[in-house]
Amino acid sequence: MKLHWDFTAFINDHWQQAPLYIEKALPELSDLISPAQVHALATDPEITTYMDIGDGPYPIMRYGPFDNQESASKNATLRLVAAHHWLPELSALLKPFSHLPSWLIETLTVSIHQPQKWCGPFIDNFDTLLLQGSGKRRWQLGEKVDDVVDDHSLPEYVPTETLGRPSVDVEMCAGDLLYIPAGVPYRSLTIDEGITYALLLRTPSPQELVQNLSDFLQEEDASPIPMALTPREENGEISTKDFAAMEDAIRDWLDQPERMKTWIGALLSRSRHELDIVASPAPWLENELYDYLQKGNRLIKLPGLKTLYHPDTPETLYIDGEVFTVPSNNDAIGPLICNHSHLDITHFGENINDPVTLALVCELTNLGYFRPESE
């Protein structure tokens, strides 16, 4: 599928600034899944689903699991969170957006909507790219506001007056795209039965960074800060020297690029939603994997898995919050693993004969991060 949009114009004029509506942005888009598949997954307690039940400004929000009768309710919108983790065919919807950094993609949510149902108004603190599959859906967007919720996972209901007079009012059909920046209130009216795909894009907030840094520091050296004490008359005072010592300790830590890179790499690679990780029941041996690839077979990356690296240290990989090191001077391996959704002999070239490369790929395959295409 080819995406018909000007990516540079999107970044310059719309990203985190203003909505964008493109008619027939993906003209070849047809539903890659059926409502029946989503209803079936909604019965699984390990998979995140929720429903908006009722109509009007404050419908009831319920989490799954749901039985088939509940999820097919005519007075509800069923949402499957991280749908591409469980329905690999949906990964095709991510390919047109390959210009976006993979760490930015929070999840792909699928909505099964019933006819003539209002949803919202909502407001999010993540950016959203909406793609309409089958059916029609009307969207109304208000003006951007600054006061948004802290939680990144679900939309928040807001009073109808927050929406105000809509600045955008469009009816989306199959293949249409609508970008909603964080902080823009919105609501929708389903015209008929159909499917909407929502690609959620998340950048960390300062609060999240600080909180995650605190968790990361739990694993670091917990030795007290060296303090030079002096007698003082006013013992309730935080002296200038005391303050400076503590400030310097924080700045010294932040001024260590390698630590910072490890922290940021692990943070951005961690999935906030359950991955369908299944370790290989019979671990691959390196010679077996070598023969498998030499025969022209492919290894498929686990859908939703984030594999990242820093360009100046490509030998260090960050995969779902874990750190992997390539003990080799071959700088091509990190980008090879991180930038492709599948691996085959054409990607490896002569690297397939490097024992270190083969050992790492074998390890990642046995962990369930890559799967033989036949599985």
Angle between helices 257-269 and 206-217 (to 10 degrees): 110
Alpha helices in 31-185 (DSSP H): 35-41, 68-71, 83-86, 160-163
Are the C-beta atoms of residues 249 and 331 closer than 8 Å to each other? no
Pair 83, 196 in one domain? yes
Model pLDDT, residue 122: 86
CATH of residue 352's domain is 3.40.366.30
Model pLDDT, residue 214: 81
Residue 358 CA to residue 119 CA, distance in Å, equals 50
Specify if 129 maps to a domain. Answer: yes
Specify if 280 maps to a domain. Answer: no
Total domains in the fold of the chain: 2
Q: Which H helix or E strand runs over 338?
A: helix 333-338
Pair 171, 40 in one domain? yes
Domain range for 340 is: 286-372
Model pLDDT, residue 149: 59
Model pLDDT, residue 220: 72
In the predicted model, residues of the chain with pLDDT beneath 50 are none
How many residues in total does the chain contain? 375
Helix/strand/coil percentages in the chain, nearest 5 = 30, 25, 45
Specify if 12 maps to a domain. Answer: yes
For the segment 287-303, what is each residue's pLDDT rounded down to a tens digit?
Answer: 999 999 999 999 999 99
